[in-house]
Amino acid sequence: MIFSSVCLAQNKLNEKGQPYGHWKFDKATYGAISEGDYKIVSLVQYDSAHFEQEEGSTIGHLDVKYKSGKAAIITYNFNTDSASVNDGTWNDYDTATGKLMQTTTYYNGIILGRKEYSTSGDLVKYSYTNYDADSIVYLTYLDHHVFKKEFYPPGNANNKITQYYPAEAMHLSDAEPEFNINFLAKPSAKSVIKITADTDVMITSIAIDSDIELTNRKKQPLSLPLKLKKGETYPITIQCTPKAATYSFYDTIAIITAGTRLKYKIICSEWCAHIDRNNVTTLQYIKLSKSKDKYFFIKGCGSLTNFTITDDDGKVNNYAALGGKVTAVDLNEYAPGLYSVDVTMGDCETEGSGINLRILE
């Protein structure tokens, strides 16, 4: 990829074939244009732990100790005393639009931080490594505010800590709850989240979708305004009861407090289906209405789930759900009547056959 652009004056190589100075090249395979600087560094400065060379390539991987942590460096034309590495800020642009997609900041090949941008130019993700504390921090942005902060405590790479709205006056224990719902066996699901106030705050309004209901600690409908004192933690219960006709994967709760324009958003993920791995082997009969239900949903399991719908004349329609996703079948594509459904859930080794599906007008 590097040597495809050696004819350009800015893309220079030294006598050892190592890139240096400013480089710009089109990574057509990835739909991006990359631009930044390479630097020749002496490897004597590093306490090298491990080096790997990609087979048949001039690109290598160097693990080094840096400050109180460890770092991985991609090297180009590595030799015993020096290597070419990324340095400074590298920008990646979308080849179709020319818009900035990502910036990565390096110091002598060591990645210090990376920012990702939306198509509108807004910062959506920022990750950086605190090498002094041997800790990696991941920030996710929503509406120009830090929505989520994830990090690993020093020396404990398996214990990820997640904080929502860490820079605001009010924090949420979980702003991304997931609900697993079966329209036939478990049409509703609940999740309890805790709201903690850093200062005295007042919740003045909450916007919710029709599928969502909020209740307080006494299991009563949440009433507003809700005053929270500094240091107070208040639990609320989110109950999700979606309908097949209007189901969408995400529902959003927006909490507004007095004196701020910020909306504390809770993004609810809903995995909803008529058939899933929990009932596929026992289900015998389903009755759905084209006017009331509108759709027939199957949630896959494993890498691939295949299912068929067969009518009385033996006509078979084939469908697939990839990677555990939910697939929707529009009932308007079928005439009222009785159909047979057969499901095979690949990696999960579960299947259901001859499930009777009655479609009503």
CATH of the domain at 314: 2.60.40
Q: What is the pTM of this model?
A: 0.83
Contact 99, 32 (CB under 8 A): no
Residues 48 and 79 in one domain: yes
Residues 46 and 188 in one domain: no
Q: Are residues 132 and 216 in the same domain?
A: no
Choose one of 109, 136, 164: the last residue of a domain.
Answer: 164
218 lies in which domain range?
Answer: 171-272
Residues in the chain: 361
Alpha-carbon gap, residue 243 to 78, rounded angstroms: 59
Query: Beta-carbon neighbour count of residue 299 at 10 Å?
Result: 23
Q: Do 18 and 89 share a structural domain?
A: yes
Q: Kindly give the confidence (pLDDT) of every residue in the chain, 361 residues in length, as a single tens digit, with 9 standing for 90 and above.
A: 344 444 446 788 888 888 889 998 876 655 678 899 999 988 777 766 566 666 666 677 788 888 888 888 888 776 667 888 999 999 999 888 889 999 999 999 999 999 999 999 999 999 999 888 888 899 999 999 999 999 987 777 778 899 999 999 999 999 999 999 999 999 999 999 999 999 999 999 999 988 999 999 899 999 999 999 999 999 999 999 999 999 999 999 999 999 888 999 999 999 999 999 899 989 999 999 999 999 999 999 888 899 999 998 899 999 998 888 999 999 999 999 999 999 998 877 677 788 999 999 9
Residues 223 and 95 grouped into a single domain: no
Name residue, tokens 């056959």.
353
Residues 16, 158, single domain; the answer is yes
Whether 263 and 189 map to the same domain: the answer is yes
Both 282 and 309 in one domain: the answer is yes
Distances (CA, A) of 42 to 80, 85, 262, 294, 345: 9, 10, 49, 66, 54
